[in-house]
Amino acid sequence: MAFVKKTRYLLAPPYCKTVETFISPIPVSLSEISDGLRLAGGWRYFKNLRIIQKKNNSLIEVQMPTKELLKVAKKYSKNALSEAESLIENLVNNRGSFAKLDMSNPHIMGVINITPDSFYKNSQITNINKLNKNFYEMINDGASIVDIGGESSRPGAKKISVAEEKNRVVGPIQQLKNYKINSLISLDSRNLSTMKTCHKIGVDIFNDITAFEERNKIEFISKTASPIIIMHMQKKPINMQKNPKYSFAPIDIYKFFSKKIIDLIEAGVKKSNIVVDPGIGFGKTLSDNLNIFKYLPLFHGLGVPILIGASRKSLIADLTIKDYKLRRKNKKDISPSKRLSGSLAFAIHANMCGVQILRTHDVFETNQALLCQKSLYL
């Protein structure tokens, strides 16, 4: 596990050639500062930064005001100042709209799995009546987007045929689209053929756990100008939890997205059509997942909206079981049905970090938590 040493001094001047420099803003509410910068044009602000520097296997973190970083960078070189200014510009720029949604406010994405083997049993849907009921409940409870998938991507899940995936999702999505609902529908799929079919019936967003790794998928997205969610995943669902390794997960994933966004833009994808998802639980250990949450604001430096999905995931069980062990109590498993509280805790943290989209199985509870949290900062 990577260890970040908190210190008073940088390893080297920011953006010099001997170290890698990364910036994670420290989000606060507007009432907590008088002269802060607005984070990503949203509901959080920042004045101070966590400057993370990486040299070989060493990581350090120095906290300093934004103005101090610019001063230090300017003193070192024009190039360093330009890098720092560009990054801060990314942190503050308005994200504009994504799929016609205003990204200056948080949004909830409800999860519907038309699968018999989703990790959370209560989210498994195998008939159209339950699908319709869940879909409209999610919209009424505050979901701006409903993410519909026909293939489980839980750890160890085997890939199903494209024909089977289409058989599960195309008809139900077509029926929902015929109702002319206002909420957006996202397709959770890694298969181009399914994407093409669902595009024809009006799917609004494409959510790909492989981050559109295939060139023909990128060409399709570019041609159709479709809004997309690119997720980070190490390996594949069937083997992603077998000894995942990172130098330091937040930085490794940040660098992955930075390159991916450039590649997508060069291929004709509009930056305004891109959302990033760090992929909690997808090829990550417990410490990797926690580090991602601790450094979530880092991803604002990419200049695009962020999505987080920790709903009912195993890290919640891992933390709970760890607590039982510390109290010398025997607890071997915490089922997904008993992970709501942890889901809400991570959702509130993500919201406090300025994350624009929260993906959840529990729309009502998540929306209620956000409303209560927001009322304290009005």
Pairing assessment for the beta strands 357-360 and 107-113 based on DSSP bridges = parallel
The one catalytic residue among 54, 154, 284, 359: 359
Ramachandran region of residue 225, left (φ > 0), alpha (ψ -120 to 50) or beta?
left
- Could you tell me the end-to-end alpha-carbon distance of the chain, in angstroms, rounded to an integer? 39
Q: Which amino acid is at 333?
A: D
The DSSP bridge partners found for residue 67 are none
Helix (H, G, I), strand (E, B) or coil at 184: strand
Q: How far apart are CA 164 and CA 160, in angstroms?
A: 7
Of the listed 313, 322, 327, 328, which one is catalytic? 313
Q: Is 109 in contact with 360 (CB distance < 8 Å)? A: yes
56 contact partners, CB below 8 Å, separation of at least 6:
none
Q: Known catalytic residue: 313?
A: yes
Q: What is the pTM of this model?
A: 0.94
pLDDT at residue 340, rounded to an integer: 96
CB atoms within 10 A of CB 14: 26
CATH 3.20.20.20 domain residues, the chain: 97-375
By CB neighbour count within 10 A (0-12 exposed, 13-18 middle, 19+ buried), where does 230 fall? buried
Q: Taking the alpha carbons of 138, 143, 144, 146 in that order, is the dihedral positive or negative?
A: negative
Rg (Cα) of the chain, in Å, rounded?
Answer: 21
Active site residue 166: no
pLDDT over 90 at 259, yes or no: yes
pLDDT at 237 over 80: no
What span, in angstroms and rounded, lies between the C-alpha atoms of 259 and 269? 14
**Integer Cα distance of 347 and 340 in angstroms:** 10
Pick the CATH number of 97-375 from 3.30.70.1060, 3.30.2020.30, 3.40.50.2300, 3.20.20.20: 3.20.20.20
Per-residue confidence (pLDDT) for residue 330, from 0 to 100: 85
119 pLDDT more than 70? no
Give me the torsion for CA of 158, 161, 165, 167, rounded to 10°: -140
- In tens, the pLDDT along 175-230 reads 888 877 778 999 999 999 999 999 999 999 999 999 999 999 999 999 999 999 99
